Amino acid sequence: MSTGPLVKTKPAEKADEFAPQEGLFSERNLRRASPYLFTLFLFVVWELGCLAFDVAEYVLPRPTQFFEILLTRAPDLWGHSVQTLYTTVLGFALGVVTGVIIGIAVGSSKLVYAAAYPLLVGFNSIPKVAIVPILVIWFGIGTVPAVITSLVISLFPVVANVATGLATTQAELEDILRALGASKWDTLVHVGLPSSLPYFFASLKISISLAFVGTVVSETIAANTGIGSMMIVASSNFDVPLVFAGLVILAVMGVALYAVFAVLEQRMTFWAQTRPDEMG
Amino acid sequence: MDAEAQSNSHLIDIDDVSLRYGVGEGSTLALAGTSFQVSEGEFISLVGPSGCGKSTIVKLVSGLMPVTGGRLTVDGQPVTGPLSIVGIAFQNPVMLPWLSTLDNVLLPLKIVRPHRDHFRQRKEEFRDRARALLKVVGLDGFEQKFPWQLSGGMRQRASLCRALIHEPRLLLLDEPFASLDAFTREELWGVLQDLWLEKKPTIIMITHELREAVYLSDKVYVMSARPGRILYERDVRFDRPRPLEITFDDAFVEVAQDLRQYIQLGRNETSAEAGP
């Protein structure tokens, strides 16, 4: 009955021809509501579990406790959230721009690939938390090391995916252009870049989540504002509900930005989605 | 046929051309001592067993690959790279999936000089030209569809339009109809014949369909198994435009039978790999 979630059809054309369309509890509405319902369900289980086993607040606070904190300390939390969001998005944006440039260089030249790729992999293997102290020596504490950490951490997925996208461009597509006398630049603009867009957008979803990791890691070590720094202070005060409130904020921001890029991906790469052949 | 009248002005001159893929031990000789000429406005076909280096000839003439031996000239000049007078359609009608059918057909005009230099100014004119071509092949109404919304036959028609949009003097067709069903194929023979009669580009068609070759061509060349060379050539002198029914005439069948013998010969020839 249900169209499996893996079979993507073009919206509005063929979706659920056989499913009952009307009614509040139609299969489609249920599917749309399911992520919210499931999250709510988990919080309820958590709440009841803590109550049933009488878990202390400083070990594992109940959801109602930290949601209360979210409300009562909203103005204070808002400032930290904006700082973290700003740092993350800035670092991510710079990381994407740098990543695309490096990715194009690595993906379109075998020489650059051979020379630079091992170095990139090695650089990517360094835990980013290890570079924060160096950044602090250079730039002091605060926004700058956090932006750079999130830049550095969101860089690699973009580089790897753009390079892969370019390197795996269908040779036949390139032949068509080459036979017309297209230059390398023409081929890149008309075939290489468009055909690596699906890879690029896939990498954005990964990178934005990583950018949060970078920011928060840096904030916990070297900052006076931001969710990461707030959580460190709260945990040294044994204010565990506030720590969990910070986690909730990070999770919500992460999901929201992921969703933005997922929608963008859908819009930009509709032509690359798997779909049943529309004609024989 | 006025091919004879122009025979001293060959558009393409292939003289003792050979091609070897790779170097040293693992290399393969795809073509050995292939020679033939094609006159301006002539429609010729190359037939032969699979793997005989037919497609290699397309890659050489189009300038996608350099020859490793012999001489290849197009329009009097040795081929050193891709030529703007060439249009190509491959067996697999690859199209850019992010462009509409119309924009796919327009692609060569964005690449090939001198058209690309005034693509913006003459965009409407170019679009009209593309629409007219799509109409000829029966794709009017599908201009704004994306390639993945077209059937295989429709994609092949669009790919023919793309090969023709910049009005090339030389059209290279590499098994253009091989992946289509028999009825669509026969229909497209008619379309191709009409297009050719209208503009008279020089056409080299690679095929393994004898009826297709005889129906469409002025001259058919039979190639041997790898390493490929020309075994036999046969003029086909039926009046144009040729109706499809002609393929059942005795005279037509006689030509096809004649060619078939030589293909058989080419297949049986145990051509020892002339490796180094």
Burial letters for A61-90: b for 16+ Cβ neighbours within 10 Å, e otherwise?
bbbebbbebbeeeeeebeebbebbbebbbb
Judged by CB atoms closer than 8 Å, whether chains meet at A172 and B90 is answered as: yes
Structure tokens given for A270: 């509709």
Supply the mean pLDDT for chain B.
85
Neighbour order of strands in the sheet with B230-235: B86-89, B170-174, B202-206, B43-47, B219-223, B230-235
Chain B residues interacting with chain A (CB cutoff of 8 angstroms): 62-64, 81-84, 86, 88, 90, 92, 94, 96-98, 107-108, 110-113, 146, 148-151, 154, 162, 166
From A268's Cα to the closest Cα of chain B, the distance in A is 9
Q: Smallest Cα–Cα separation from A250: which of A274, A206, A215, A203?
A: A215
Determine the pLDDT at residue A21: 57
B99: nearest CA partner in chain A: A271
**B136: number of CA atoms within 13 Å, CB side?**
24
* CB atoms near residue B243 (< 10 Å): 12
Residue A83: CB partners within 8 Å, gap ≥ 6?
A143, A225, A226, A227
B89 min Cα distance to partner chain A (Å) = 8
Beta carbons of B84 and A180 less than 8 Å apart = yes
Residue A280's pLDDT is 39
pLDDT per position as a tens digit, A166-194: 988 888 888 888 888 888 888 888 889 99
Query: B108: which chain A residues are within 8 Å (Cβ-Cβ)?
Result: 180
- Asked if residues A55 and A48 have their Cβ atoms less than 8 Å apart, the reply is no
For residue A272, the chain B residues in CB contact (below 8 A) are: 97-98
pLDDT reading at B271 higher than 50: no
B92, B179 Cβ separation under 8 angstroms: yes
Cβ–Cβ of B82/A194 closer than 8 Å? Answer: no
| Chain A residues whose beta carbon lies within 8 Å of the beta carbon of residue B84 | 180-181
Are A158 and A96 spatial neighbours (Cβ–Cβ below 8 Å)?
yes
* Residue with tokens 């795996």, as numbered in its chain: A168
Question: What gap in Å lies between CA A270 and CA A197, rounded to an integer?
Answer: 11
Search chain A and give the residue with CA nearest B115: A180
- Yes or no: say if B136 and B164 are a contact pair by the CB < 8 Å rule: no
Closest CA relative to residue A16, chosen from A29, A1, A31, A6: A1
Contact call for A178 and B64, based on CB within 8 A: yes
Phi-psi sector, B239: left (phi>0), alpha (psi -120 to 50), beta: beta
pTM greater than the 0.80 cutoff: no
Q: Is the pLDDT of residue A102 over 90?
A: yes
Identify the pLDDT of residue B54: 82
* pLDDT band, residue B55 (cuts 50/70/90): confident
What gap in Å lies between CA A224 and CA A142, rounded to an integer? 7
Listed residue (A148, A129, A145, A147) closest to A137, CA to CA: A145
Q: Which residues of A touch B92 (CB under 8 A)?
A: 172
Which run of H or of E encompasses B257?
Answer: helix B250-268
> What pairing do the DSSP bridges indicate for beta strands B219-223 and B43-47?
parallel
B64–A272 CB contact, under 8 Å = no
pLDDT score of A18: 57
pLDDT given for residue A237 in this prediction = 92
Contacts of A174 in chain B (CB under 8 A): none
At A11, the pLDDT band (50, 70, 90 cuts) reads very low
Nearest residue in chain B measured CA to CA from A173: B94
How is residue B91 annotated by DSSP? S
Residue A280 to residue B151, Cβ atoms within 8 A: yes
The yes-or-no verdict on residue B266 having pLDDT over 50 is yes
A271–B111 C-beta distance less than 8 A: no
Cβ pair B98:A176 closer than 8 A: no
Is A128 within 8 Å of A214 (Cβ atoms)?
A: yes
Kindly report the average pLDDT of chain A as a whole number.
Answer: 86
Q: What is the dihedral of CA A13, A15, A16, A20, to 10 degrees?
A: -70
Give the minimum alpha-carbon distance from B194 to chain A in angstroms, rounded to a whole number: 24
**Count of beta carbons in the 10 Å neighbourhood of residue B266:** 22
With cut-offs at 50, 70 and 90, classify the pLDDT of residue B21.
Answer: confident
3-state secondary structure of B100: coil
- Chain centroid to CA A4: 25
Q: Which of A178, A190, A275 sits opposite B148 (nearest CB)?
A: A275
Q: How many CB pairs under 8 A join A and B?
A: 65
Lowest mean pLDDT among A72-86, A145-159, B10-24, B200-214: B10-24
- Taking 80 as the threshold, does the pLDDT of residue B8 lie above it? no
Q: Phi-psi category of B90—alpha, beta or left, where left has phi over 0 and alpha has psi -120 to 50?
A: beta
pLDDT for A274 equals 65
> How many Cβ atoms sit within 10 Å of the Cβ of residue A213?
19
User: Strands B86-89 and B170-174, how do they pair?
Assistant: parallel
Distance of CA B32 to the CA centre of its chain: 21
What tokens were used for A77?
């939390």
Whole-number pLDDT of residue A246: 94
Residue A15, pLDDT > 80, answer no
> B111 vs A173: CB contact, 8 Å cut-off?
no
pLDDT of residue A97 exceeding 70: yes
Structure confidence at residue B166 as a pLDDT band (50, 70, 90): confident
pLDDT of residue A279: 44
Is residue B1 predicted with pLDDT exceeding 70? no
Q: What percent of chain B has pLDDT over 70?
A: 93
Nearest to B92 among A172, A186, A278 (CB): A172
pLDDT at B269: 62
pLDDT at A51: 93
Q: How far is CA A67 from CA A43, A251, B158, B172, in A?
A: 11, 14, 60, 70
In terms of Cα–Cα distance, which of B49, B163, B52, B20 is closest to A175? Answer: B163
| Record: contact B94-A173, CB cut-off 8 A | yes
Strand pairing partners for B184?
A: none
As beta bridge partners, residue B235 has: B219
Task: Please name the residue of chain A whose CA is at the shortest distance from the CA of residue B164.
Answer: A180
Q: How far is A273 from chain B (nearest CA, A)?
A: 10
As a whole number, mean pLDDT of residues B55-71 equals 88
Contact A204, B132 (CB under 8 A): no
DSSP secondary structure letter of residue A223: -
